[in-house]
Structure 1
Amino acid sequence: MDARSIIAKLRRREVPTADELGWFAQGLADGGVSDAQAGAFAMAVCMGGLGTEGRAALTLAMRDSGRVLSWDVDGPVIDKHSTGGVGDCVSLILAPALAECGGVVPMISGRGLGHTGGTLDKLEAIPGVSTGVTEDMLARIVAGTGCAIVGATAGIAPADKRLYAIRDVTATVESLDLITASILSKKLAAAPEALVLDVKVGSGAFMKTPDEARALAEALTATANAAGCKTTAVITDMNQPLAPALGNALEVAEVMKVLRGEAEGPLLQITAALGGVVLADCGLAADVQAGADRIAEALRDGRVAERFGRMIAAQGGPLSFVDDWARFLPEANVIHEVGAAQAGYVTAIDGEALGLTVVALGGGRQVESDVVEPAVGLSRLVRLGDRVEKGAPLAQVHAGREDAARRAEASVRAAITIGAEPVAVPDLIHERIG
């Protein structure tokens, strides 16, 4: 086997065999495949596609290019993945909630990508928390607390890390086959028995239309189920931020309000919905509604907050974080209210524009080497359908400098449309697939 023959096969719109894809993935991992060959491979897949069987074969090949974890635990190993949105801090609530309901949750997460925030960046807004742990340390944390939220080690799906960097500079990020293989190779390397996928659709998501979201959900669920992991996708709305805040420390604050029973709304609703699905799929609940009820009950009585605190401490954070969280989270130097230019109803919110506003403030990365400022972002965001008066606040900007705050104010006003008549607010849960 050699890279040129595999690339030539793809160019002829023929799907390589599982052995050929396995060989290529190993070459990505160990350097046997050059950057030029990796780029040609990505472009050929992007142009011609792999089909259902080829997509599953590439996913497993990339998973098997590195370590596949194994577990000796009491309870089913389960996980969740979101395709990315703004104000989406569900993982910080859902991981301890699933653990409290009997699951074992070794959640391998990522950092911010484009306009969307990253779970690891949010968690690291808590002083002392480390998300870069060894496999042995991950096993100890999970054994002690039932859950952990960490980054992938160098040994997890190394073929994906190499191919993703190539895709980023060769305009092949959008390939459905490559997206599926990238997401699932890392998730399946953690060896979950059941997985729930939160596929976002709308202005703040990568998938802007229902058809795009459905195609991705179907590709992900078909591939993961073919690999032996019981998987269901939930298509959820991202036409406005999920939480009323964007930015790492600000989203952690919203998480704490939910965990302590001080806030309800979309963040709590989607956590219960996703949790219900995966608890039903792994046998810890009789059905989806029973699972959702278990998640909601565990959140109400404070058990999830206590488990979250144990996870934070196990990953290096303050022992008393849950009891006194506001004292530990960093605050921005400059906080400005953004007043509405006119009276009316909130008829549209450009979530991508708001996400990019947070990136420009320093709350995300424009290049991989950028250092994230955890305190900056937006809070107290209005919701679709809200009635506002002229001058009333649309949001608060949290910035490091006055000039950055003023630029962000203008961006927020441009991203929020005020109309004379109210609009129908989309349902949070669109459909389940899998």
Structure 2
Amino acid sequence: MPIPPADPAGDPNFSLPKHPAFQRFWCTRILSSLSFQMLAVAMGWHIYALTHSAFALGLVGLAQFLPMFVLTLVVGHVADRYDRRRIAAICQSLESVAALLFAFGTFGGWISAPVIYVLAACVGAARAFESPAVASLLPGVVPRGQLPKATAWATSANQTAQIAGPALGGLLYGVGPGVAYLACTLSFAAAAATVWAIPLQAKLASRAPVTLESVFSGIAFIRKEPVILGALSLDLFAVLFGGATALLPVFARDILHTGPLGLGLLRSGTAIGALAGTIWLAHFPLRNRPGAAMFGGVIAFGAATVVFGLSHQFLLSLFALMVLGASDTISVVVRLSLVQLRTPDEMLGRVSAVNSLFIGTSNQLGEFESGVTAGWWGAQPAVLVGGIATIAVALLWMRFFPELKNTRSLEREEALAPSH
């Protein structure tokens, strides 16, 4: 299928949100994220209802993280050698099957904590392949000059899903756990159909031979790029320590005294703030000092986490989560833009896989860390310590990575210099 002219310089009427290929990309992102958010709410409430254990909540996150950790080097090479649309479609189809097994297990009465852990691990393995494939797909969908805006709009797809997904998941779980799992099944299947229909502007790179050096080239590239390494590691440790969302079932049930719908609304609170942030950044992209803006966002993220940990009021907790989401958006957009604009396309899949590992470490392993510390100290002290640690990490990283703090542009500055 031919693509309409997409070069902003050659088409004064160019509009990114109206670009057909980008519309399909945006739809598959929102459908897949919607499914995962509904599934996360259902799994979290289900496992806590079965076990009444914060540690068990952490194990769900660990079950999703381990496959991602083991497969990191493999999935990046796959994304660079094969059709990224096909990879994403296969993974989303497998996630649909996993959600269907959740539904069968619930309706059949054989669902249990070990079954939830196994199926969560299967979803984690599928997402390990899906994440770098979808992330590295974007530069083939839009022109390079539009990548920062496209990244913000694509992030808004995730945040929109994170608003609707948790609330919808909580509502459907209130009707019945099996109903929530069936909705996830259909949404994952729709995402798979949509991603396969995306036309690409750029062709995939030729398939180079697989060598030990090429397998580790993504890690080697990041180690040589202090700006990218600083952004990835800052986001990793900030979210690792500030993972308040992993304990939302505990806060919803035992501290704020609300039900599954309240849990869904709390999970949506983070995404409401994040969506507002991504829409703002889509219209007013960061052009000057993005590194300094990222550090400011991480510090605000830690402060909002502290407020959430201290709150006993539902509305205050919801507001704190909204601020948390808005501040995290800055980190997400800066990190993704740096990766996409400073990485050659032929190795973007491998670098995106390492990026996905950092994200998975901060999210899924962060959930495990939060579950363990909550089991030791209680949910509120664990969140308070995590928020303070997040602020401390941001201050330390300003010293460790001055290149990131002082960077003037998302693109390489030598690439922006005029040629002579």
TM-score of the two chains, using structure 2 as the length reference: 0.28
Q: Max radius of gyration: which structure?
A: 1
Higher helix share: 2
Higher relative contact order (CA 8 A, sep 6+): 2
TM-score of the two chains, using structure 1 as the length reference: 0.27
